[in-house]
Structure 1
Amino acid sequence: MIKQLLLITFTFCSLSAFAKIDKLPEEFSDFSLNRDIKVSYEDLDALLEITVLDMGMSDRSSRKSQSSIGTRMKSHKNNDTALEANRFLFESVSQSEIKDGFHKIRISLEKLPDEVSLNELSLDEQLAYWLNLYNTAMVEKLIEHYPIRDTEDLLFGDDSILEEEFLTVAGYKLSLNDIQQKIVFEKFGKKKPIVMYGFYQGNIGSPNLRNEAYKGSKVYHQLVDNGEEFVNSNRGMQIKRKNRLYVSKYYEQAKPLFDDFEADLREHLEDYAEGSMKSDVKYAKRFEVDIEDWSITDLYGTERSFGATASTNPAAMLNAVVSNSAAPVASDGSSSGMGAVNINFINDSIMMRTMNFGRFSPEMLEKIKKLNLKRQDNSGSVEIKDLDSNN
């Protein structure tokens, strides 16, 4: 009998350890008003800083010719969006052990609830956590499938990486879609649709991958920055013939965030549009979800043509790295930073930091310890006694 009970208990625990998420469990739905506990992402910051090229705000310019700044650059079929979106050094990273850093950070983030329950974190800290986990896992999967040029089948095909349940958080098996749709959109997005700009999906047509991790202390500022960049780019929305509004197909993923999709999205776009685009959005007579660009944001995954004046700003940075410069040109024209050619030189230090990194400082760990002890004291125990039959 004891063996049977043990077997049943073991089976139950095994199943619960790999439970699927149908609705938000308490571990994900609750939150704390205490903002003392802050999660650190210094390791992720270090990786993103050296692997992501921030291309700045779009000027809505289109590619004018098929000429290339380097023989390794490939042509791009969408001239309107070819010059947009941050770039990731997929080729260099995929050939370096740095790729293991994203895997190790992803595993580390999955284990965070072992140190402190997610519902003990504030809402902002939770949001930053889910966005960092999603984007780190997304980059890991893209590196795993590299080299690729078009991400559409990878994201939405029969073997979609968005549907693959390869993440485990607090005993729940999760897919990337679970994090986006069932957790972040459900918990945070109903009142703040700006959260949709936190999900990088590897292609030019998606929101940017930032060159820094999301932080609880400034997560909404970071999201607004991403949102403003996306809306005011050709891949976010375009006005044609002054009365036709075309928007990105990425917004189809965000439909659950808008009660009236067209009207509410149009209002959202008007809020974030700059200059004359505000009135153009408001008075456009036609609304079409039509813009798409599935080209991977690999530095060498698209062609860019800069012309004779391309000596500063993001264009110069890109040109310097493509030319294997050890000191790319900064936005002010000076030499600074680290080119792709140097990526292996910092591999050992990055990997060591990743392996030894903790999400909490010693002071923060002490707070968590006291919090756990307080919870144990408050939980107490419940003793069930038989009621007297005379009562």
Structure 2
Amino acid sequence: MNNSGDVNYASIKSNIGELNKIVSIFEQSKPTKNWSKNDQLAFWINAYNVFTIKLITDNYPLKSIQNLAGGKTWDIKRIKINGTIYSLNDIENDIIRSRFKDARIHFALNCAAVSCPPLFNEAYRAEQLDSQLESQTKKFINNPKYQKLTSLKVTLSKIFDWYALDFGIKIDFLNKYSKIKIEYGATTVYNEYDWSLNDIKHK
């Protein structure tokens, strides 16, 4: 992975044994509600990202995750953790969004596309989770690749449109992290989402 969060899927595939070891650890884990909130959330964010990388690597080379299962790959139950089978959407929506209600997770989950928030270059950890999520959120919001912000007009990632309810009053959320003070009533438009694979090879 490079500093922009692009992934070297070819390299991962050539050393697939290392990824399979990590996948096996997640499959054998027993996450419960007795874990701390941060332990649970860090586990599920990491699981989502690891199994997304596994999905892409198993089907590599490809141009886009949307080429898999007719664009419905997020709904396929293929992820086994402690004997339960999940889809990526199960993990994101039924566990992470439903249980934890923290909008910052949208900048930690990576869907293997160019327009997705960059993949973090280390695992999320319970004891550092708040600072990690704060950092990822601030970086994404202030990165002109994803957002263009002025006081009177904001051009945003489609994430802010798709998950609008998660962010509450959008301007307040943006102003918490933005380097620019955005006025209430600022014009809002959304970027087209680039679903091309976030592959170093494609750069």
TM value normalised by structure 1: 0.48
C-alpha separation between the residues in 2 aligned to 1:179 and 1:103? 20
Segments of 5+ residues of structure 1 without an aligned counterpart are 1-51, 56-84, 303-391
Match of 2:76 in 1: 164
Larger Rg: 1
CA RMSD of aligned residues (A): 2.1
What's the % identity of the aligned pairs?
22
* Contact 1:245 1:284 (8 Å CA) reproduced: no
2:64 corresponds, among 143, 150, 161, to 150
CA-CA distance at 1:256 after TM superposition: 4.3
Q: Report the counterpart of residue 251 of structure 1 in structure 2.
A: 160
The amino acid of 1:89's aligned partner reads N
Q: Tell me whether 1:237 sits opposite 2:147 in the alignment.
A: yes
**Aligned-residue offset at 1:291:** 3.9
Conserved 8 A contact 1:204-1:296 = yes
Answering whether residue 18 of structure 2 is matched by residue 101 of structure 1, we say yes
Instruction: Report SS of the residue matched to 2:20.
Output: helix
After the TM superposition, which residues 185-196 of structure 1 pair with which residues of structure 2 at under 5 Å, given as runs?
A: 185-189=97-101, 192-196=102-106
Rounded to whole Å, the distance in 2 between the matches of 1:230 and 1:222 is 12
Cα pair distance change 1:236/1:159, threshold 3 Å:
closer
Work out the number of aligned pairs and report it: 203
Which secondary structure state, in structure 2, belongs to the residue aligned with residue 200 of structure 1?
coil
Mapping 1:298-313, distance limit 5 Å: 298-302=199-203
User: Does residue 1:265 correspond to 2:179, yes or no?
Assistant: no
Which runs of 5 or more structure 2 residues have no equivalent in the other structure? none
Task: Give the C-alpha shift of residue 159 in structure 1.
Answer: 4.7
Q: Give me the TM-score of the superposition, normalised by structure 2.
A: 0.88
Which residue does the alignment assign to 1:16?
Answer: none
* Preserved CA contact (<8 Å) 1:185 1:256: no
> In the aligned structure 2, how far is the partner of 1:271 from the partner of 1:291?
24
Do the aligned partners of residues 297 and 159 (structure 1) sit closer, same or farther apart at CA in structure 2, a change above 3 Å counting?
Answer: closer
Match of 1:22 in 2: none
Q: Deviations over 1:222-244 (max 9, x none)?
A: 1111111110112432147x633
Amino acid across the alignment from 1:234: P
CA distance in 1, matches of 2:35, 2:162: 27
- Aligned residue in 2 for 1:112: 29
Structure 2 contact 114–195 (Cα < 8 Å) conserved: yes
Structure 1 runs of 4+ aligned residues shifted over 3 Å read 150-154
Pick from 212, 220, 225: which aligns with 2:122? 212
